[in-house]
Chains A and B, each alone.
Chain A
Amino acid sequence: MNLMDWHRRIERHTGLLVFGIIAVTSVGGLVQIVPSLFQTSLSTPVAGLEPYPPLALEGRDIYIRESCSVCHSQQVRPLLAEVMRYGATSKAGEFVYDRPFLWGSKRTGPDLHRIGGKYSDAWHRLHFMDPRAVVPSSIMPAYRWLAERDADTGGSIQNRMRALQLLGHPYTDRDIYFAPQRLAGKSELDALIAYLQMLGVSRPEGG
């Protein structure tokens, strides 16, 4: 049977066609994705990287809920201008405890991967309550309600930590047991700031 006949046959059998499409499109994944599952440099945390403590984890979820990624990326690319402005290039091993990672692709505002320690908590508080109080030309929205909402959402933090523990995040049972206490009396704003202050602070050696 020659090629054109094959073509005819595939074209006329939906099942075959679907199978063919899957077979062909999977090649890209087999080349790009499958080997990276075995690439240890992608799954080994850089020295000093800690899983997010409860308050920061809560803050991360608030970051996701408020869609901060719509305006902020979290990846310093290996380009001179970015390194000079934001700091060391982001490394894969820094995102091991980010599920999912929040690299983003849109930069209406600055990159946030090296934001940890750049400002004081007091500055962040001012900035989230009213960005224009500190940066008059800012177009970032204010997030006042975060200050009024409780970070403790009734124990769900423990479920989330347990899920991450299953995926290999080194939380101890003790960490999980005491998690609600770590959130007690904190606002969502405190949680978000705790998260931001952790971002990108454990830089790899020489990076």
Chain B
Amino acid sequence: MPELPSSFWGGWIIVLTVGSLLVLVGLVLSVYFFDRQPDDHAEVVWDETLREGNHPAPLWWFWLIVVLLVISVVYLLLYPGLGRYRGTLGWSQGHQLAHSEQRYADEFAAPHATLLGQSLSELAQNHLAMDAALSLFRVHCGTCHGEDAGGVAGYAPNLTDAAWQWGQRDEEILASITAGRQAAMPPWRMALGDDSVTVLADYLKVIGTQAADGPQYEQAAATFAGSCSVCHGASGEGKPALGAPDLTDGYWLYGSSVDDIAHSIARGRQGRMPAHADRLSEVQIRLLAAWLVSRSGSTLPESPIQSVRDK
């Protein structure tokens, strides 16, 4: 403990440690060599021949103890243990960690520099790098986005379809991972009332797959233009800068039933993607982003079948 409060406690530890070692040495030596007694103490005899004596253990025990004593002395010289003394090796857990971090950095400096020099689409072609990205994804992202990035119903978006809620340009994807995202879809129940919400939900369900121009949609279209288009765009195509999703692509993060859609509108949604700047290095973040680019569009925009609320 090099950071002991005072040299008093350092001395205390040294005295007690060295003292007990010395007592031990004295005890062992005297038991084996100086205090040997003739075996005349036996007073009780059991079972005709069994006598109670007072013998030291067999001699090989003595050598065992000697070896252990030598090991402890060598240990106390090499490693911290005697008060504030740091040991000749200067070893500490912190140093060891710093050392392995340095070794890691040195060993991977060149490959990391190469990887950092490549664009996401180049990285996406690098199979080795993509294998590494897959294991990174499983450890750091799979718990939310699903092990294969397919999304978790009603919670985290599918990252393998072609739809990008927060934008699909390289820097947008990188920003999503590095700084995180906080979606803010306000609740509309108070402002619009239950009926309007239902009408809107029906309308959105339709425009999710086809254009909805008929007169029966007029009321909903007007409400949408008034209340929703600021974020979701004039025709519901979404605004990546706000994380407002495209409502016309048939993909529903929070479930595709009219009820689920009405729930989104009535209560609002606040999806949060946590920041990873502190948890991952730049190389790791770029690898992950490249992996996402390589997977993008590999599945059809398919809505999670079941919403969490239904479970």
- Residues of chain A whose beta carbon lies under 8 Å from any beta carbon of chain B: 2-4, 7-8, 27, 30-31, 34-36, 38-41, 78-80, 83, 85, 87, 89, 117-120, 122-123, 126-127, 129-130, 133-137
Chain B residues, Cβ within 8 Å of A83: 97, 101
A126 pairs with B94, CB closer than 8 A:
no
**Dominant secondary structure at the A interface:** helix
Task: Give a binary string over B130-152; 1 marks a CB under 8 Å from any A CB, 0 the rest.
Answer: 00000000010011101100001
B143 pairs with A119, CB closer than 8 A:
yes
**8 A Cβ contacts from B109-144 to A:** 139, 142-144
A35 pairs with B9, CB closer than 8 A:
yes
Chain A residues, Cβ within 8 Å of B271: 122
8 contacts between A and B (CB under 8 A): A2-B35, A4-B31, A8-B54, A27-B20, A31-B12, A40-B5, A87-B279, A135-B142
B97 pairs with A89, CB closer than 8 A:
yes
- Smallest CB separation, A81 vs chain B (Å): 9
Closest Cβ neighbor of B3 among chain A residues:
A41
Say yes or no: A122-B155 contact (C-beta < 8 A), given A7-B54, A130-B311.
yes
Say yes or no: A3-B30 contact (C-beta < 8 A), given A123-B155, A133-B308, A134-B152.
yes
Q: How far is the CA of A196 from the CA of B170 in the complex (A)?
A: 33
**8 A Cβ contacts from B1-59 to A:** 1, 3-6, 9, 12-13, 16-17, 20, 27, 30-31, 34-35, 37, 41, 54
Chain A residues, Cβ within 8 Å of B9: 35, 38
Among the listed B13, B27, B41, B94, which residue makes an inter-chain contact with A78, where contact means beta carbons less than 8 Å apart?
B94
Say yes or no: A120-B35 contact (C-beta < 8 A), given A8-B54, A39-B3, A130-B311.
no
B139 pairs with A119, CB closer than 8 A:
no
- Smallest CB separation, B287 vs chain A (Å): 14
- Residues of chain B whose beta carbon lies under 8 Å from any beta carbon of chain A: 1, 3-6, 9, 12-13, 16-17, 20, 27, 30-31, 34-35, 37, 41, 54, 93-94, 96-97, 100-101, 104, 139, 142-144, 146-147, 152-153, 155-156, 270-272, 274, 278-279, 308, 311
B13 pairs with A126, CB closer than 8 A:
no
B101 pairs with A80, CB closer than 8 A:
yes
Chain A residues, Cβ within 8 Å of B16: 27, 30-31
Q: How far is the CA of A96 from the CA of B89 in the complex (A)?
A: 31
What 5 pairs between A and B have smallest CB-CB spacing?
A35-B9, A78-B97, A120-B272, A80-B100, A78-B93
B5 pairs with A133, CB closer than 8 A:
no
Which of B1, B6, B30, B271 is most buried by chain A, counting CB atoms within 10 A of its CB? B1
Closest Cβ neighbor of B272 among chain A residues:
A120
Chain B residues, Cβ within 8 Å of A129: 311
